[in-house]
C-alpha cells in the first residue's frame, strides 16, 4: 500500500470511529450526561468495533477532541425581512414526511458536523423554502430573495440543503449560477454531486462512482446536465443531446457559469426544447409545467446590471462577463417560466440592495431586487469572521483582535512608486527586489510561516488534511507567473538547504527565530481569546518540528490559479493531501475555497467593501490550527478590514432591528446607503447612482475625516464656541444617572436639553465638514433636518459637549466654562511616519461611543432602549455575542429616542474636542496633526431618532474621488 493509500485508509478509519461514536453519544437521552468522559468512553467502544477490520491504530485522543468540539458548537437563528404579498403558506410537517433528498443530506452532514449545527441548517433552509412558493401551486408565481451569509461560512452547505428540500417538494429544474470561472463552477458541481446527486458526473453524463450522500440512502436517479470536467458546462453541443424534460422526471440540475455563451445556450434550449406554451400577449415561449429554482451564488458579482465595462488582461472588453448582458440573460431565463423562485447567496449584499426595486422590462421581466425576502444567516459558534479576526473599534482603539495579522511594507517604495509590487503596475511588470528578480523578505517570512504551520499540523495529527497558502498581489496573469517562479525558486533553495544540510544553519536560525518570537507566544494569546472547547492544542517541541521539515518541504508545491478547473479538482482526489502555495488574482478573489488555508500574503489597493470582503479567503473554520494562521498585508488593508468588521456589525444590527419591527426588504435599502464609514460598494454598482439617496432617521453620522488646515479648524472651533455661548446655562454640568444601580456618568461633560432646532441648524451652517465625507456632510444634514422639521419632526434637541480625555493641547475656554487643556483622544488613521501623512486630510477610526448617545436619556427611556436592544439581539459567538446585553446599543437608543420629546422626537448633537497631537504611544504627544494648530480639533456626531415617516435626501457622488480613494471595482 502506498503512503497516500495508507493516509487515506487512516483518515477513513478515524472518520468511521468518529461517526460511530457520535451516534452512540447522540443516543444518550439525558443531554446533561454528555461530558468529555462519556465521549471518551464511546470513542473507545467505537474503536473496538473497528479494531478487527483495519491494521491501523485509531488516534482516540483526536477523535475525542473532535467530538467535544462538535458537541460544544452551536448556531444561532437566522433573521428575516419579508414581503408576503401574493404568497401562500404551504410548508407543513406532513408535507415533509417522506422527503428523501434532505434525509440523505442530513445524515451525510451529521457524519461531519455537530447535531446542533445540522439542526440549525435544517431550520434555516426550512425558513428559506417556506418563503418560496409551493411548486405544486398551479397558477403563475414569482419569488425573489437574498440569503446573506458570512464569507467562507458555509453558504454552499445552506443552498445544498435548500436544493435537496426543493427537489423533495417538487421543483423540477434547478439552475445554479456558479461564479464566472471554470474552477469555481467545477468546485460547485463537485459539492452538489456529494450533497445532492450522490454520484460523480462523467464526460458522457452517465452516473459514475457513488459519492457523498450515496452512502446514506438509495440512488434517487437525479439528472445532471453539467459535469465536473473543465468543459462540463452547458453548451450548444450538449443541448443537442437533451430533447426535453417531462414533468414526471426526477429534477434536473444545471451548474453553469455566469457567462454570455453559456447562458445564451441554456436560454435557447429552454425556449426551444422545454417551453410548452406561448404567452398570448407577448408571444414569448413559456415553461408552465416545470417549476424553476434558480440559485445565484455570489449574487452581487456579475448578476447586477451595473452598466460597468469589464476588461480582459490585454485591455479588450470582456464580452463574456458583461454585467448588463449577464443580468439580461438571467432575467430572461427566469421570465421563461410561469412559476419560478430566485434565491441569491452572498456575504456582501450591497450591490443587490442598490438594484432598483421597480426595474422591469417586457422582454426581461423584473430586475433581481430581493423583493420577497432577505435572510441574514447566523454563523456557527466556531466561525472566525471579521469581528473575531480584526476586533472591534472603541474610543481607545481596536480591541479583541486575534494576533494573526502581520504588516508588510517592503513590497514597494512609496516615494519612487517602484519596487517588487507597487499598487499600480502594468501587465508587463517584472517584480524585482533591490534590483534582483527575487521575493521580498516579508514574503520569504510568510513562506517560512507556512512551512512551520505544515510541520505543526503534521505533529498535531492533522497530516491527513490539506494545507494552503494564498499569494494575492496582482490581477495580471503574466505578473502572477513571475511571482510563482520566484516563489518556486525560494522554496527550492530552502528545500535544498534543509535536506542536503548545505548552508542550512542560516535557514534554520531564521525558522527558529520565527518559532520562538512568533509561533510560541501567539499560540498562548489565541488560547486566551478562545472559548475552552476551541483552544488550540499545545505546541510540539522544536526538535520534533526540525525532524519533519525535510518531508514537509518535499511535499510543498507552488501553483498559479488562473481559472481552470484542474486547480479546483485536486482537493477532491482520494488520498491526495496537498501542501500548496497558490498564486492568483481575481480568479482566487471570489468563491473558490482554498482547503486548509493557513497563510495569506495579500497586497491590493481596492477599498470597496464588497471586493475586500470577498477577497478575505482567510475567514472561516480553522479547527485545531487557528493559532497557526497568518495574514501578511499592508497596514492600510488591516485598517480597512477593521472598518469592514465595524460596518458589517452595524448593518447586521440594523437588520435585526428592522426584522423585529417586521419591515420589508425595500425599507432596508435606504439604511445601507446611509452608512458613514464606508459607502459600501462601487458607485458604479449602485445602478444610475451618480446621485445617492439616503435617510438619516435612526442613524448616527459622525465626522471621521477632517481638513488638515488651521483656518478651517479655527472656523469649526468658532462654530462650537458660538453655539455653546448661545445655549446659556447647561441642564447639567456632569450628567449622572442611576441606571438600575449600574451608574452612568459623564464627569467632564456639559448637557443642554430642550434646545431649539434653529441653533443646531446655525451650527451646521458654520461648521466645515470635509467634502469627501460620505454622509457626515453639514449641508446634507441641514437639508434633512429642515425637511423633517417641515413635517413636524426633529424640532426638539439636546446638545452635549464631551471632554475629559488625557489628550494635550493649548488651553481653551469654551463659553461659560472653566479652562480646559484636557481633550479626548481618538486614534488617528495616519501612519507615524511623517513622510506618509496626507497633507490635506486626516481620519480617525471612530468618534463616538454608544453610551454617549444616551447622555440625555432618563432611566425610564434608557430601560426602554435596553429592552429594544435585547428584543433584537440574538446570541452569535462568531460576532462576539454570547451573553444578553446589559446596556443599550446605539441603535436601541435611537429607536427609544423618538419618545423623548413628548409628542415629538428628540435628536442629540454630540460635540467632541479632540487632541491636536499624534501620539507616539498612549502618553507621548509626538507632533501636531494640523500644522500650526495646538487648540482642540472639533468633531461632532448626531444621533437621529428613528422615524415611521422618514424623508430621504440626495447628493451627487464624486466619481473621480471614488476612483482615487477606493480603486476600481473588480
Position 959 scores a pLDDT of 44
Beta bridge partners of 881: 876
Position 263 scores a pLDDT of 96
Domain finish residue from 72, 93, 114: 72
Burial 119-152 (b: 16+ CB within 10 A, else e): ebbbebbbbbbbbbbbbeeeeebbbbbbbbbbbb
Sign of CA dihedral 353, 355, 356, 358: negative
What would the pLDDT profile of 777-821 be if each residue is shown by its tens digit? 899 899 999 999 999 999 999 999 998 777 788 888 899 876 665
Grid look-up 480553522 returns 622
Are 301 and 395 contained in the same domain? no
Please check whether residue 590 lies inside any domain of the structure. yes
Instruction: State yes or no: pLDDT of 920 exceeds 90.
Output: no
Name the residue with higher pLDDT: 565 or 543.
543
Q: Which three cell numbers stand for residue 936?
A: 482642540
Residue 135: pLDDT band (50, 70, 90) is very high
Are 887 and 764 contained in the same domain? yes
Instruction: State yes or no: pLDDT of 613 exceeds 70.
Output: no
Which residues, at least 6 apart from 736, have a Cβ–Cβ distance to it below 8 Å? 743, 744, 745, 746
Phi/psi of residue 244, nearest 5 degrees: 155, 180
Give the span between the Cα atoms of 556 and 452, in whole angstroms. Answer: 12
Residue 264: pLDDT band (50, 70, 90) is very high
* Helix H or strand E segment including 913: strand 906-914
Which residues, at least 6 apart from 417, have a Cβ–Cβ distance to it below 8 Å? 424
Instruction: State yes or no: pLDDT of 633 exceeds 80.
Output: yes
> DSSP assignment of 655-669, as one string?
HHHHHHTT--HHHHH
> Closest by alpha carbon to 131, among 182, 104, 166, 105?
166
Side-chain half-sphere exposure of 910, counting CA atoms within 13 A:
25
Give the span between the Cα atoms of 866 and 868, in whole angstroms. Answer: 5
- State the alpha helices, DSSP H only, in 571-631: 586-589, 609-615
CATH of the domain at 260: 3.40.50
Are 7 and 144 contained in the same domain? no
Instruction: State yes or no: pLDDT of 673 exceeds 80.
Output: no
Are 397 and 362 contained in the same domain? no
> Closest by alpha carbon to 390, among 398, 382, 380?
398
Report whether 854 contacts 888 (CB < 8 A).
Answer: yes
> Closest by alpha carbon to 581, among 458, 478, 472, 479?
472
> Closest by alpha carbon to 300, among 77, 133, 149?
149
* Percentage of residues in the chain having pLDDT higher than 70: 81
> DSSP assignment of 452-487, as one string?
HHHHHHIIIIITTS-EEEEEE--S-HHHHHHHHHHH
Written in H, E and C, the secondary structure of 741-801 is CCCEECCCCEEEEEEEHHHHHHHHHHCCCCCCCCCCCHHHHHHHHHHHHCCCCCCEEEEEE
Are 730 and 857 contained in the same domain? yes
Tell me the mean pLDDT in the region 369-382. Answer: 84
Grid look-up 434608557 returns 862
Give the span between the Cα atoms of 392 and 645, in whole angstroms. Answer: 7
Instruction: State yes or no: pLDDT of 703 exceeds 80.
Output: yes
Please check whether residue 77 lies inside any domain of the structure. no
Residue 547: pLDDT band (50, 70, 90) is very high
Give the span between the Cα atoms of 534 and 445, in whole angstroms. Answer: 27
Please check whether residue 433 lies inside any domain of the structure. yes
> DSSP assignment of 220-266, as one string?
---EESS-SSTT-S--HHHHTT-----TTSPPEEEEE-S-HHHHHHH
Are 543 and 488 contained in the same domain? yes
Instruction: State yes or no: pLDDT of 586 exceeds 90.
Output: no
> Closest by alpha carbon to 401, among 386, 418, 381, 416?
386
Instruction: Find which of 600-614, 622-636, 679-693 is predicted with most confidence, using mean pLDDT.
Output: 622-636
Q: CA–CA distance from 951 to each of 480, 664, 665, 694, 798 (Å)?
A: 49, 17, 17, 8, 21
| CA-derived radius of gyration, the chain | 29
Instruction: Find which of 136-150, 440-454, 677-691, 843-857 is predicted with most confidence, using mean pLDDT.
Output: 440-454
Position 306 scores a pLDDT of 56
Instruction: State yes or no: pLDDT of 341 exceeds 90.
Output: yes
Residue 199: pLDDT band (50, 70, 90) is very high
Are 47 and 164 contained in the same domain? no
Residue 675: pLDDT band (50, 70, 90) is very low
Give the span between the Cα atoms of 515 and 9, in whole angstroms. Answer: 32
Please check whether residue 200 lies inside any domain of the structure. yes
Position 961 scores a pLDDT of 41
Instruction: State yes or no: pLDDT of 902 exceeds 50.
Output: no
Instruction: State yes or no: pLDDT of 64 exceeds 70.
Output: yes
Give the span between the Cα atoms of 557 and 492, in whole angstroms. Answer: 10
Residue 688: pLDDT band (50, 70, 90) is very low
- Please measure the distance between the N-terminal and C-terminal CA atoms of the chain and give it in whole angstroms: 47
Are 140 and 224 contained in the same domain? yes
> Closest by alpha carbon to 596, among 450, 484, 475, 495?
450
* Helix H or strand E segment including 918: strand 917-919
Instruction: State yes or no: pLDDT of 5 exceeds 90.
Output: no
Task: Tell me which of 217-231, 337-351, 432-446, 936-950 is least confident.
Answer: 337-351
Please check whether residue 497 lies inside any domain of the structure. yes
Domain ranges, residue 231: 125-153+160-375
> Closest by alpha carbon to 40, among 62, 57, 55?
62
Give the span between the Cα atoms of 312 and 826, in whole angstroms. Answer: 43
Instruction: Please provide the average confidence, as pLDDT, over all residues in the chain.
Output: 83
Are 708 and 743 contained in the same domain? yes
Residue 179: pLDDT band (50, 70, 90) is confident
Give the span between the Cα atoms of 929 and 910, in whole angstroms. Answer: 22
Position 277 scores a pLDDT of 92
Grid look-up 482526489 returns 573
Tell me the mean pLDDT in the region 4-12. Answer: 71
Please check whether residue 93 lies inside any domain of the structure. no
Position 624 scores a pLDDT of 86
Position 569 scores a pLDDT of 44
Query: Residue 438, class by beta-carbon neighbours within 10 Å (0-12 exposed, 13-18 middle, 19+ buried)?
Result: middle
Instruction: State yes or no: pLDDT of 355 exceeds 80.
Output: no
Give the span between the Cα atoms of 389 and 7, in whole angstroms. Answer: 32
Instruction: State yes or no: pLDDT of 608 exceeds 80.
Output: no
Instruction: State yes or no: pLDDT of 939 exceeds 50.
Output: yes
> Closest by alpha carbon to 612, among 966, 344, 352?
966
Domain finish residue from 350, 375, 400: 375
Report how many domains make up the chain. Answer: 4
Are 802 and 932 contained in the same domain? yes
Side-chain half-sphere exposure of 821, counting CA atoms within 13 A:
5
What would the pLDDT profile of 823-876 be if each residue is shown by its tens digit? 777 666 544 444 455 678 887 877 888 889 999 998 989 999 999 999 888 777
Are 219 and 248 contained in the same domain? yes
Please check whether residue 107 lies inside any domain of the structure. no
Residue 540: pLDDT band (50, 70, 90) is very high
Beta bridge partners of 286: 277
Position 691 scores a pLDDT of 59
Give the span between the Cα atoms of 622 and 599, in whole angstroms. Answer: 12
Instruction: State yes or no: pLDDT of 67 exceeds 70.
Output: yes
Residue 750: pLDDT band (50, 70, 90) is very high
Instruction: State yes or no: pLDDT of 101 exceeds 90.
Output: yes
Position 318 scores a pLDDT of 61
Are 294 and 339 contained in the same domain? yes
pTM metric for this prediction: 0.75
Position 520 scores a pLDDT of 97
Domain finish residue from 375, 398, 433: 375
Is 182 strand, coil or helix? helix
Q: Which three cell numbers stand for residue 655?
A: 437588520
What would the pLDDT profile of 26-53 be if each residue is shown by its tens digit? 787 776 677 777 888 888 898 888 877 6
Please check whether residue 651 lies inside any domain of the structure. no
> DSSP assignment of 363-400, as one string?
TTEE-----SEEEEPPPBTT-B-HHHHH-EEETTEEES
Residue 907: pLDDT band (50, 70, 90) is very high
Amino acid at each position: 500500500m502506498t503512503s497516500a493509500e495508507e493516509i487515506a485508509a487512516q483518515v477513513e478509519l478515524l472518520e468511521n470511529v468518529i461517526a460511530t461514536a457520535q451516534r452512540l453519544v447522540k443516543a444518550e437521552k439525558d443531554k446533561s450526561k454528555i461530558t468529555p468522559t462519556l465521549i471518551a468512553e464511546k470513542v473507545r467502544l467505537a474503536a473496538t468495533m473497528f479494531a478487527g477490520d483495519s491494521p491501523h491504530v485509531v488516534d482516540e485522543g483526536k477523535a475525542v477532541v473532535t467530538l467535544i468540539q462538535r458537541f460544544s458548537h452551536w448556531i444561532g437563528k437566522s433573521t428575516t425581512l419579508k414581503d408576503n404579498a401574493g404568497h401562500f403558506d404551504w410548508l407543513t410537517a406532513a408535507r415533509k414526511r417522506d422527503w428523501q433528498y434532505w434525509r440523505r443530506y442530513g445524515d451525510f452532514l451529521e457524519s461531519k458536523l455537530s447535531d446542533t449545527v445540522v439542526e440549525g441548517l435544517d431550520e434555516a433552509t426550512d425558513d428559506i423554502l417556506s418563503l418560496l412558493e409551493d411548486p405544486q401551486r398551479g397558477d403563475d408565481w414569482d419569488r425573489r430573495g437574498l440569503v446573506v451569509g458570512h464569507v467562507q461560512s458555509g453558504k454552499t452547505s445552506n443552498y445544498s440543503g435548500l436544493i435537496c428540500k426543493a427537489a423533495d417538494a417538487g421543483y423540477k429544474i434547478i439552475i445554479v449560477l456558479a461564479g464566472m470561472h471554470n474552477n469555481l463552477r467545477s468546485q460547485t458541481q463537485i459539492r452538489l454531486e456529494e450533497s445532492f446527486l450522490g454520484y460523480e458526473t462523467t464526460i458522457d453524463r452517465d452516473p459514475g462512482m457513488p459519492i457523498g450522500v450515496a452512502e446514506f440512502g438509495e440512488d434517487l436517479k437525479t439528472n445532471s446536465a453539467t459535469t465536473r470536467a473543465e468543459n462540463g458546462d452547458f453548451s450548444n453541443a450538449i443541448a443537442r443531446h437533451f430533447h426535453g424534460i417531462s414533468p414526471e422526471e426526477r429534477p434536473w440540475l444545471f451548474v453553469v457559469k455566469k457567462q454570455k455563451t453559456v447562458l445564451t445556450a441554456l436560454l435557447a434550449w429552454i425556449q426551444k426544447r422545454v417551453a410548452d406554451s406561448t404567452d398570448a400577449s407577448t408571444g414569448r415561449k413559456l415553461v408552465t409545467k416545470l417549476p424553476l429554482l434558480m440559485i445565484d451564488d455570489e449574487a452581487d458579482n456579475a448578476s447586477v446590471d451595473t452598466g460597468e465595462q469589464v476588461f480582459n488582461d490585454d485591455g479588450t472588453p470582456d464580452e463574456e462577463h458583461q454585467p448588463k448582458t449577464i443580468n439580461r440573460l438571467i432575467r430572461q431565463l427566469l421570465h421563461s417560466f410561469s412559476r419560478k423562485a430566485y434565491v441569491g447567496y452572498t456575504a456582501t449584499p450591497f450591490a443587490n440592495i442598490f438594484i432598483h426595486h421597480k426595474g422591469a422590462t417586457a422582454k426581461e421581466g423584473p430586475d433581481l431586487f430581493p423583493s420577497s425576502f432577505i435572510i441574514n444567516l447566523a454563523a456557527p459558534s466556531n466561525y472566525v469572521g471579521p469581528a473575531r479576526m480584526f476586533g472591534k473599534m472603541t474610543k481607545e482603539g481596536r480591541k479583541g483582535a486575534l494576533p494573526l495579522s502581520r504588516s508588510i511594507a517592503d513590497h514597494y517604495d512609496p516615494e519612487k512608486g517602484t519596487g517588487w509590487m507597487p499598487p499600480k503596475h502594468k501587465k508587463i511588470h517584472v517584480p524585482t527586489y533591490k534590483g534582483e528578480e527575487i521575493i521580498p523578505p516579508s514574503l520569504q517570512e510568510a513562506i517560512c510561516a507556512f512551512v512551520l504551520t505544515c510541520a505543526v499540523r503534521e505533529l498535531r495529527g492533522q497530516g491527513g488534511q490539506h494545507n494552503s497558502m494564498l499569494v494575492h498581489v496582482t490581477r495580471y496573469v503574466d505578473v502572477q507567473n513571475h511571482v510563482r517562479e520566484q516563489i518556486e525558486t525560494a522554496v527550492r533553495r530552502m528545500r535544498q538547504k534543509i535536506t542536503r544540510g548545505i548552508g542550512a544553519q542560516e535557514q534554520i536560525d531564521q525558522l527558529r527565530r520565527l518559532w520562538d518570537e512568533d509561533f510560541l507566544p501567539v499560540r498562548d494569546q489565541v488560547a486566551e481569546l478562545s472559548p475552552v472547547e476551541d483552544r488550540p492544542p499545545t505546541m510540539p517541541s522544536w526538535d520534533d518540528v526540525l525532524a519533519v521539515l525535510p518531508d514537509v518541504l518535499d511535499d510543498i508545491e507552488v501553483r498559479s490559479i488562473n481559472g481552470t478547473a484542474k486547480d479546483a479538482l485536486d482537493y477532491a482526489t482520494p488520498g491526495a493531501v496537498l501542501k500548496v502555495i497558490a498564486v492568483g488574482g481575481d480568479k482566487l478573489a471570489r468563491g473558490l475555497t482554498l482547503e486548509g488555508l493557513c497563510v495569506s500574503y495579500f497586497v491590493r489597493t481596492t477599498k470597496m467593501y464588497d471586493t475586500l470582503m470577498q477577497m478575505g479567503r482567510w475567514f472561516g473554520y480553522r479547527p485545531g490550527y487557528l493559532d497557526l494562521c497568518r495574514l501578511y498585508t499592508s497596514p492600510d488593508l488591516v485598517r480597512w478590514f477593521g472598518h469592514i468588521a465595524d460596518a458589517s456589525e452595524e448593518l447586521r444590527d440594523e437588520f435585526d432591528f428592522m426584522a423585529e419591527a417586521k419591515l420589508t426588504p425595500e425599507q432596508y435599502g435606504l439604511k445601507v446607503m446611509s452608512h458613514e464609514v464606508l459607502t459600501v460598494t462601487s458607485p458604479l454598482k449602485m445602478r444610475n447612482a451618480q446621485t445617492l439617496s439616503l435617510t438619516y432617521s435612526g442613524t448616527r453620522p459622525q465626522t471621521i475625516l477632517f481638513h488638515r488646515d488651521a483656518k478651517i479648524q479655527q472656523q469649526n472651533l468658532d462654530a462650537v464656541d458660538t453655539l455653546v455661548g448661545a445655549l446659556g446655562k447647561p441642564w447639567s454640568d456632569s450628567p449622572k444617572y442611576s441606571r438600575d444601580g449600574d451608574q452612568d456618568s459623564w464627569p467632564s461633560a456639559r448637557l443642554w436639553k430642550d434646545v431649539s432646532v434653529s441653533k443646531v441648524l446655525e451650527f451646521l451652517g458654520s461648521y466645515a465638514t470635509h467634502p469627501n465625507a460620505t454622509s457626515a456632510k453639514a449641508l446634507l444634514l441641514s437639508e434633512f433636518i429642515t425637511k423633517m422639521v417641515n413635517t413636524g419632526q426633529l424640532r426638539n434637541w439636546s446638545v452635549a459637549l464631551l471632554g475629559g480625555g488625557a489628550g494635550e493641547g493649548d488651553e481653551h475656554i469654551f463659553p461659560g466654562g472653566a479652562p480646559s487643556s484636557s481633550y479626548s483622544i481618538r486614534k488617528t488613521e495616519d501612519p507615524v511616519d511623517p513622510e506618509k501623512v496626507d497633507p490635506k486630510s486626516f481620519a480617525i477610526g471612530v468618534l463616538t461611543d454608544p453610551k454617549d448617545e444616551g447622555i440625555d436619556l432618563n432611566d425610564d427611556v434608557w430601560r426602554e432602549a435596553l429592552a429594544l436592544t435585547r428584543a433584537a439581539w440574538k446570541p452569535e459567538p462568531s460576532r462576539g455575542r454570547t451573553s444578553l446585553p446589559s446596556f443599550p446599543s446605539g441603535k436601541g437608543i435611537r429607536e427609544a429616542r423618538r419618545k423623548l420629546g413628548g409628542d415629538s422626537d428628540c435628536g442629540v448633537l454630540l460635540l467632541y474636542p479632540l487632541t491636536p497631537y499624534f501620539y507616539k504611544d498612549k502618553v507621548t504627544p509626538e507632533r501636531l496633526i494640523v500644522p500650526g494648530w495646538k487648540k482642540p480639533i472639533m468633531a461632532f456626531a448626531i444621533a437621529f431618532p428613528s422615524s415611521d415617516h422618514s424623508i430621504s435626501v440626495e447628493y451627487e457622488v464624486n466619481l473621480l474621488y471614488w476612483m482615487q480613494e477606493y480603486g476600481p471595482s473588480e
